[in-house]
Amino acid sequence: MENATIPVDRTAQDRLFINGEWSEAANGKRFETLNPATGEVLAEVAEGDAADIDSAVSAARAAFRTDTWRRMDAADRGALLWRMADIIEQRADVLARIEVLDNGKPIREAKIDIRQSIDALRYYAGWTTKLHGATIPVRGNLLNYTLREPVGVVGAIIPWNFPLLMAVWKIAPALACGNTIVLKPAEQTPLSALELAAIGAEAGLPNGVFNVVTGFGETAGAALVAHPDVDKIAFTGSTAVGRIIMRAAAGSLKKISLELGGKSPNIVLADADVGAAARGAFSAIFYNTGQCCTAGSRLLVHESVRDELLSGLVDRAGKMQPGDPLDSKTRFGPLISQEQLDRVLGYVEKGRAEGAQLVAGGSRAQYEGEDRGFWLQPTVFDGVQPDHVIAKEEIFGPVLSVLSFSDEDEALALANASEYGLAAGVWTQDVKKAHRFARDLEAGTVWINTYHPGDAASPFGGYKQSGFGRELGEYSLDLYTQIKSVWVDLN
Ligand code: NAP
Ligand code: MG
């Protein structure tokens, strides 16, 4: 691997960021973050826990109470978010490198994340001056109007698959609406969140408005969810932890929004452009090494096009080789951790044991000729049955389950037979069928003849056990504001 060192001065930014200052964890502990491509230690960061969460929440509460943030002129708040986007843009190369080294994703994909982070900050920068209430024609000689106000202190907990982007998806709308934030990044990928804290400070966020506490879910994360002075938790991660958070939030009746797992169906009808569908199905499952909550991990194929589609897919999968993630030609990265590699290999074993046919991959891949890092070959199982574990559970790795169907009702029933409902894809050249499927699929996002596009302006979120609340677009403003009704006697 090309020089795999962190490209910034880490003397400050490897600590917690609380109330505008860098500090060690109160317990003095630190933990390591690894480079997934090589398995080597990349950096150490502070291991914050309940005491640090408490300091960060106090700072966020104090910052929320002052007039400097929530009553700042909306245009100025917008300008500040825009400035953060400008700094990210200027520092895109450094940030991309940090993200590649900490997460393992190819730099080409890290740059897409950074582009989207900039877009989201600018999109919400524009909303600050458009957050207004309404005047309501009530009975009587009364004036009734509404105020749209921030919810207060927001706790944001995010996963490791898109570290910078997931942080921005939460902080951009939360800040635009005038909230203050405590962010707990994933233990595997803490570095870009710390950079984001530094960027916020440089852009001019008042102290305490945006705090970052690195640490573990079971300690720092749980303390944030349980904290009585946190008004809202915005979470992205597994459905299992989503359930824990929902239970824990009941104690203080926090508002919560949950962006959880998926087992998204990608449906190829008999009349599809099979070449395009094969390319689309490939990136649907293998983008970000399958570590996308929206991964098209169940490919449902009409039996008449199955052989052609599958040969295209298997052919491409065989050509994907591990490459230096810092090389702009690399298209495929490692998994995030040894734990995740073992977990995914466990699913490969289950698939074999249940009788699905392994037609591509299935084993650990070598990197630079050695068994190091957390690499897995792109893996495809054919002949998967609806009751197989690999057809039902979220694997979160580069493993595709292919199921076939013989008519469209069967395809729809198979697609919807999941506890999840995050996303779905449909490939067809018949516009009526496309829109019928879009209507009937139980999913928060439906892609037709494409897979994975997203935009800061378009809502994103889950049906069923993929969570609730919509991030991005104007819908996200509802997650970070509350409405006050004001009555005035005009007599
Ligand atoms: P996770 O446990 O759900 O982690 C997401 C975030 O929640 C992390 O910041 C985590 O901290 C934190 N967390 C964990 N337990 C918590 C608790 N009790 N209270 C508060 N916060 C808590 O996901 P993971 O461990 O990274 O991955 C496990 C599996 O989840 C993956 O294999 C994958 O299947 C799925 N996953 C799904 C998504 C998605 O977007 N759908 C994203 C990530 C993972 P730590 O970093 O310290 O664990
Ligand atoms: Mg975890």
Chain segment 411-440, per-residue pLDDT in tens = 999 999 999 999 999 999 999 999 999 999
Q: Would you say domain 265-455 falls under CATH 2.40.40.20?
A: no
Burial label, 75 (beta-carbon count in 10 A; 0-12, 13-18, 19+): exposed
CA of 149 to the centre of ligand 1 (A): 30
Atom of ligand 1 minimally distant from the CA of 216: 47
Residues 6+ apart with CB under 8 A from 73: none
Structure tokens at 316: 């491409």
Residue boundaries of the structural domains of the chain: 16-260+466-486, 265-455
- Tokens 């069967």 label which residue? 410
Does the pLDDT of residue 345 top 80, yes or no?
A: yes
Evaluated on CA atoms 89, 90, 91, 97, the torsion sign reads: positive
Structure tokens at 337: 């951790």
Ligand 1 in contact with 310 (CB < 6 A)? no
What per-residue confidence (pLDDT) applies to 4?
Answer: 79
Ligand 1 in contact with 82 (CB < 6 A)? no
Question: Distance (Å, rounded) from C-alpha 202 to C-alpha 209?
Answer: 13
Task: Provide the β-strand partners of residue 353.
Answer: none
Question: Distance (Å, rounded) from C-alpha 218 to C-alpha 105?
Answer: 26
Report the nearest-CA residue for atom 33 of ligand 1: 396
Active site residues: 259, 293
Report the nearest-CA residue for atom 35 of ligand 1: 238
Q: At residue 402, what are phi and psi to the nearest 5 degrees?
A: -105, 125
Chain segment 229-286, per-residue pLDDT in tens = 999 999 999 999 999 999 999 999 999 999 999 999 999 999 999 999 999 999 999 9
Rounded (5°) CA angle 282-466-316? 5
- Tokens 């409405």 label which residue? 483
Does the pLDDT of residue 309 top 70, yes or no?
A: yes
Specify the pairing of strand 153-157 against strand 180-184. Answer: parallel
Question: Distance (Å, rounded) from C-alpha 108 to C-alpha 338?
Answer: 23
The number of residues in the chain equals 491
Structure tokens at 122: 């600018």
Ligand with an atom nearest the CA of residue 160: 1
**Contact present, 470 and 458 (Cβ < 8 Å):** no
CA of 238 to the centre of ligand 1 (A): 5
What per-residue confidence (pLDDT) applies to 299?
Answer: 98
Structure tokens at 308: 């052609």
Of the candidates 348, 417, 410, the residue with the CA atom closest to the CA atom of residue 380 = 348
Question: Distance (Å, rounded) from C-alpha 249 to C-alpha 155?
Answer: 11
Ligand 1 in contact with 128 (CB < 6 A)? no
What per-residue confidence (pLDDT) applies to 14?
Answer: 84
Question: Distance (Å, rounded) from C-alpha 102 to C-alpha 111?
Answer: 14
Specify the pairing of strand 265-268 against strand 423-427. Answer: parallel
Ligand 1 in contact with 186 (CB < 6 A)? yes
Atom of ligand 1 minimally distant from the CA of 244: 18
Ligand 1 in contact with 215 (CB < 6 A)? no
Ligand 1 in contact with 246 (CB < 6 A)? no
What per-residue confidence (pLDDT) applies to 10?
Answer: 57
Chain segment 178-224, per-residue pLDDT in tens = 999 999 999 999 999 999 999 999 999 999 999 999 999 999 999 99
What per-residue confidence (pLDDT) applies to 56?
Answer: 99
Q: How confident is the model at residue 364 (pLDDT cuts 50, 70, 90)?
A: very high
What per-residue confidence (pLDDT) applies to 12?
Answer: 57
| Residue from 31, 212, 241, 297 to probe ligand 1 pocket by mutation (most atoms less than 8 Å from CB) | 241
CA of 325 to the centre of ligand 2 (A): 23
**Contact present, 83 and 122 (Cβ < 8 Å):** no
Ligand 1 in contact with 221 (CB < 6 A)? yes
Chain segment 110-140, per-residue pLDDT in tens = 999 999 999 999 999 999 999 999 999 999 9
- Level-2 CATH architecture, domain 16-260+466-486: 3-Layer(aba) Sandwich (3.40)
Q: At residue 298, what are phi and psi to the nearest 5 degrees?
A: -115, 110
Q: How confident is the model at residue 353 (pLDDT cuts 50, 70, 90)?
A: very high
Q: How confident is the model at residue 1 (pLDDT cuts 50, 70, 90)?
A: confident
